[in-house]
Structure 1
Amino acid sequence: MPSCGERPPPASVIAMRDEYPNAGRYKDRHGRWRWRFRRAGKTISLPHEPGHPEFEEAYDAAIEGREPRSAEVVMLPHASVPRSLKAAWRMVPTSLPEWGRLDPETRARQSKIADKFLNAEIVEGEGVCWADMPVEDLRRRHVKMIIAGMSDTPHAARHLLTVLRRMILVALDEEWIESDPTYKIKHRPGYVGWKAWPESMRAKFEKRWPIGTTPRLAYALALWLGNRRGDIADLTPDTIDGEKVRLTQGKTGRDLVLEITPMLREVLDGADLSGPTILKTAYGEPFSKKSLTGRMRDWTKSAGMPAGYTLHGLRKTLGKMLAESGATTRQIMDTLGHTDIKHAELYSKEAEQERLAQAGMRKVTRMVTPRNKAR
């Protein structure tokens, strides 16, 4: 019987007691209604309300005198552990504005690097991948260990460090961490750069591939427009506007207007410009970037040239010519489409070093020559 002043329990609760023997409803010290199982002097708390899966499991366990079984957690194929490296990477496209400014090729390349890293095991054979590591557990020593393990591929290590920093930036913005474990970690591998084509190599190529051939057209476009292989492969006859070429760079998105020099005009006049692109395969189809790189390797080999002279090397050749002819850094930037002045300054500094060294040695020669004559 309820005590004086206490309302009797509703009929639904009485029915529940009949359905769940030894289970009862009570009000805790905070005034909230809860359920518990009481038998033989033992009291076991029951979560939620009758009908809830956790209540049902806890009640059955109390009746059977065992511990409740936890529900099995099944990870979906594309799910990620909260606040993990994988979770951070999945937020990069929507959280970092600079990601959207990258060209599609760069985004695809960095995504491939991230996927390979995240799916790699932290310790081989343990079955735990970097993807599931909480960002807050990533330490500076871990980053150094990762980079050190890639000493045989220094450029790949540098690219991975760039990708890792994107994950860290997301974690900082989301306030998952308070400090950057990659702070001031530098990895700048020695860089030889693309090989510029000296005059002797250019003469060899031009002798082997006369005007009117596809190799000569590819060579002339790369050399006298100074653009990347993708931009060269994508050029259409419509980009030729009188004595100018108008193009949009794939990597930077910059719109360039470049003058057609007499050297390039001579080659264009001997080419088939019926489309769909200026450069065409033997089947009349556009070249892909990769196929154009492979074909240039074959063409230089056929010309008797050593390995290492590439389409991008022709871009560097034009930059070197511009600097040696006295072009300003800004003129080099606007011809080659650089967005970072540091890249253009490399050409200027190299040319200036050569000019200064030559002038200095001439002075030495003039000073020493009279002495030798006197002897």
Structure 2
Amino acid sequence: MIKRSAGKNPYPGVSRNKDRHGRARWRVRLKGVPQTYLPGEYGSAEFRAAYEQVVNGERTKKVEPAPRHAHGTFNWLIEQYKQTPTWEKMAPIRLRNLQYNFDRFSRDHGERTVASLKSQHVEALLAKKAATPAAANKLLKLIKRLCRFAIRRGIISIDPTVGVDRYNENPDGFHTWTEAEIVQFEQHHGVGSKAVLALQLMLCTGAARQDVCLMGFRNVSGHRISYSRGKTGGFVDVPILPQLKCEIKLVPAGQGTFLVHTGDRPYKPETFGN
């Protein structure tokens, strides 16, 4: 048993908190001990026994671990999903993108229960993004991922996204800029701007964003520029066209990569994309 002096707080590490329903709960937080909620009224026999078990490292079924999110909510489901092998095996870029989408969804719907979601609710959420069909379909894909996982976990038995139609997107994909639009872009940003340099690097080399972020003077040899494609591993070696040469000349010679942001740091593919 732990001996305590008769001070203001006879239970060091214990603090009063309220759960999402406004009910008072007593939480113990001590170094080297998992955060735990104590049962019973403050100072009761049940409370004291649980406190002694925690501080002495004697975990029993009566000592309830602090829940991060309410069971059955979307926040809880997302936390469960992030503990699966599927999540752990994802590529870093895909992982960050999905985490970003999860965070956005959680801010608006995280406290809602998965079981309460119906097809009409899904359709209403998508309708709010009707002006941007691609965004609506992206949201549908995210909800479908969570609902299918919820079925595997036994939270729901019917997928509410079944029968919900995707929105029609442009079958031709993104609009390809015309020569006039490229000129308009260059005139707007101006020669020597980072925007025009990025444009010319991609136009004149065919580089993807993950490739263009790494380009620098080390890729230049004489009148040619070369790089290895991050996605395929293929090697590209092309002549430096006049419009690109004009932009590269304006880059400081000691700069590590052609494209940098705050503190002359190189871009990461995801920050460059943003």
Q: Give me the TM-score of the superposition, normalised by structure 1.
A: 0.43
Instruction: Classify the secondary structure of the residue corresponding to 1:258.
Output: strand
The yes-or-no answer on 1:101 pairing with 2:91 is yes
Q: 1:184 to 1:245 in 2, by over 3 A?
A: farther
Contact 2:136/2:167 (8 A) holds in 1: no
Partner residue in 2 for 1:220: 200
User: How big is the shift at 1:189?
Assistant: 4.3
- Relative contact order: is structure 1 or structure 2 higher (C-alpha 8 Å, sep ≥ 6)? 1
Partner residue in 1 for 2:127: 148
For 1:246, which of 222, 225, 228 is the aligned residue?
228
Contact 2:77/2:150 (8 A) holds in 1: yes
The structure with the larger Rg is 1
Instruction: Classify the secondary structure of the residue corresponding to 2:227.
Output: strand
1:109-132 CA-partner distances (Å, limit 9, x unpaired): 21232222324xxxxxxxxxxx24
For 2:70, which of 56, 69, 81 is the aligned residue?
81
Q: 1:188 to 1:274 in 2, by over 3 A?
A: farther
Instruction: Classify the secondary structure of the residue corresponding to 2:72.
Output: coil
Instruction: Classify the secondary structure of the residue corresponding to 2:235.
Output: strand
Contact 2:217/2:258 (8 A) holds in 1: yes
Instruction: Classify the secondary structure of the residue corresponding to 1:260.
Output: strand
1:278-306 CA-partner distances (Å, limit 9, x unpaired): 12469855468899789xxxxxxxxxxxx
Contact 2:207/2:229 (8 A) holds in 1: no
For 1:91, which of 80, 97, 113 is the aligned residue?
80
Partner residue in 1 for 2:237: 259
Contact 2:74/2:106 (8 A) holds in 1: no
In structure 1, give the amino acid aligned to 2:104.
I
Contact 1:217/1:271 (8 A) holds in 2: no
In structure 1, give the amino acid aligned to 2:255.
G
Partner residue in 1 for 2:165: 186
User: How big is the shift at 1:180?
Assistant: 1.8
Contact 2:126/2:136 (8 A) holds in 1: yes
Contact 1:280/1:287 (8 A) holds in 2: yes
For 2:139, which of 160, 169, 173 is the aligned residue?
160
User: How big is the shift at 1:141?
Assistant: 2.3
- Larger fraction in strand: 2
Q: 1:184 to 1:237 in 2, by over 3 A?
A: farther
User: How big is the shift at 1:190?
Assistant: 3.4
User: How big is the shift at 1:181?
Assistant: 1.6
Structure 2 CA distance for aligned equivalents of residues 142 and 227 of structure 1: 42
User: How big is the shift at 1:276?
Assistant: 1.7
In structure 2, give the amino acid aligned to 1:196.
T
User: How big is the shift at 1:214?
Assistant: 5.1
User: How big is the shift at 1:182?
Assistant: 0.9
1:74-112 CA-partner distances (Å, limit 9, x unpaired): 996x72222332221112223262672361541242123
1:190-241 CA-partner distances (Å, limit 9, x unpaired): 337544232234456678956x775553222121233455653443444558
Which segments of 5 or more consecutive residues in structure 1 lack a partner in the other structure? 1-50, 55-73, 120-130, 295-375
User: How big is the shift at 1:183?
Assistant: 2.0
The alignment of Structure 1 onto Structure 2 pairs a total of residues equal to 207
Structure 1 CA distance for aligned equivalents of residues 82 and 229 of structure 2: 27
For 2:257, which of 277, 295, 303 is the aligned residue?
277
Structure 2 CA distance for aligned equivalents of residues 282 and 97 of structure 1: 35
Instruction: Classify the secondary structure of the residue corresponding to 1:186.
Output: coil
- CA RMSD in angstroms comes to 4.3
Structure 2 CA distance for aligned equivalents of residues 176 and 205 of structure 1: 51
Which segments of 5 or more consecutive residues in structure 2 lack a partner in the other structure? 1-43, 48-63
Partner residue in 2 for 1:116: 107
Instruction: Classify the secondary structure of the residue corresponding to 1:277.
Output: coil
Structure 1 CA distance for aligned equivalents of residues 112 and 128 of structure 2: 20
Q: Give me the TM-score of the superposition, normalised by structure 2.
A: 0.56
Partner residue in 2 for 1:200: 180
